[in-house]
Amino acid sequence: MNKTLHYITFQYFPHFSANTIVTMKTIKYLKKLGMDVKLIFPGREKENITNEDILSFYNICENIDIVKTSYWLPFGKLKFLEKYFYVFSHFIWSLSIFIKYIFSNQNLKNILFYTRSNWVFYFFSIINLKIIYECHKYSKSTNFILTLTKNKKYSGYVFQNILLAQSFKLSATQNSNLVIMPSAFDEDDFLNLTKPKIEKDVVFIGRFTRFNENRNLTFLIDAFSNKNISNFNLNLIGGPRKIADELREEIKIKKVGNVKVSDYLPQKDLNAVLASSSIGILINSSKDIHSKLHTSPVKYFEYIRSGLKVLAVDFEAHRLLPYSKNIYFFKEGDVADFIDKLTNAAKDDDVKYDNIQQFSYSKRIEAIVNLFARLEGLEPPTL
């Protein structure tokens, strides 16, 4: 199997988001397998961010080739019609990268390509290069692109749950070249973490908005203001800073003394918080179909690897998660039900997640490498 892989993505690094974590951990473990890996992404910001800054943020020690391309397009610079500028910028950047490859001196048939960009996938797929597209949400543009590439036998697909895959009308060729893989945890992040757990310490980790929609964190603040759980402590960790400041102001106005809001933390600091916490929370708003049906939260796998009990809003996507029988589900917007499930979780014995290593990045990358072997018409390699 080819050993050179280029990961091309329309993301920005470093950035505190589940999507960038998945990208960087995927690259890390491909590198650990001995592959020659290159990350290519648009440099959207003016800050002088070094490759070392990026790797350190994600707690990655491997030497990874990182290429930050020039970026002069309007997305992120013009605040009106931002959604449309994003689509336009994404398309133009993907096309420009594709053209650079076409006119390069590289033998593209000897390179494996991986992307989370639907437009990158389209351009590389139509000339029959070996490429895997990791799809993390439904969109009309992705549906259109998958229709155009339905007969491309060198194109592979990774979906994070079965409902997301079923949201597209996939061809027989596409169905034969896909894998369903939930998110994962990085075992290296949890080595030598022996901090004792603090009973009734509860944590939520993640961006405070999802696709520009509120994640319903005000519900958690209101719930923890209830005197019946005044002996519990909640730590909300994430951002963006503007939303974090708004939450801090809300907590101050409502005089909620057992909720703390922390800004973005590097991965190693997040893991220290997880090591000492007892309960982790999954919450989103039902206004977003992705949150209800298609998500596979990275933080969930970090929660369970840390031995946390998990409370989750009762969405179908959460019911599809591994070990879902151990999750304490609460009704969206129901404070009484949330408090009931939280107190039950605190009283119950610790949860044991059997055979948890199957959800490590090592296993996830094994499935990706096997899919590439399938696209090349080879037997899966021995890893």
- State phi, psi for 144 to the nearest 5 degrees: -65, -45
Structure-block tokens of residue 96: 């420009």
Distance in angstroms (rounded) separating the CA atoms of residues 208 and 136: 18
Q: Name the pairing type of β-strands 309-313 and 279-282.
A: parallel
**Quick one: which of 301, 302, 219 has its CA closest to 254?**
219
Residue-level pLDDT at 78 = 54
Q: Are strands 209-210 and 213-214 parallel, antiparallel or unpaired?
A: antiparallel
Looking at residue 379, its pLDDT comes to 65
Residue whose entry in the numeric block shows the structure tokens 């494996």: 112
Q: What is the largest CA-CA distance in the chain?
A: 68
Q: What pLDDT, on the 0 to 100 scale, is given for residue 288?
A: 78
Where would I find the H helices in 127-209? Answer: 140-148, 162-166, 172-176
> Does the domain spanning 4-183+360-375 belong to CATH 3.40.50.1110?
no
Beta bridge partners of 4: 36
pLDDT of res. 207: 85
Whole-number pLDDT of residue 239: 84
Nearest residue to 164 (alpha-carbon basis) of 20, 323, 291: 291
Q: Which CATH topology does 187-347 take?
A: Rossmann fold (3.40.50)
Q: Where are the domains of the chain?
A: 4-183+360-375, 187-347
Closest CA to 357 of 327, 322, 382, 310: 322
How wide is the angle at C-alpha 311 spanned by C-alphas 306 and 316, nearest 5°?
Answer: 110
List strands edge to edge, sheet with 65-69.
65-69, 36-42, 4-8, 112-115, 131-135, 155-159, 178-180
pLDDT by residue for the chain (383 residues), tens digit each? 679 999 999 998 988 888 999 999 999 999 999 999 999 999 876 567 899 999 998 989 999 999 999 877 655 555 556 667 788 889 999 999 999 999 999 999 999 999 999 999 999 999 999 999 999 999 999 999 999 999 999 999 999 999 999 999 999 999 999 999 999 999 999 888 777 899 999 999 988 876 555 678 999 999 999 999 999 999 999 888 899 999 999 999 999 999 999 998 888 888 889 999 999 999 988 887 888 999 999 999 999 999 999 999 999 999 999 999 999 999 999 999 999 999 999 999 999 999 999 999 999 999 999 999 999 887 666 55
Residues 311, 339: contact at Cβ < 8 Å? no
Please determine whether the domains at 4-183+360-375 and 187-347 fall in the same fold group of CATH: yes
Q: Tokens representing 136?
A: 């993390």
> What is the reported pLDDT for 201?
97
**What's the token pair of residue 159?**
């979906």
- Two tokens, residue 175: 């169905």
Q: Tell me how far apart the terminal alpha carbons of the chain are, to the nearest angstrom.
A: 12
Residue 281: which H helix or E strand, with range?
strand 279-282
Radius of gyration of the chain (CA): 21
pLDDT at 74: 59
Task: Report which secondary-structure segment, H or E, holds 250.
Answer: helix 241-254
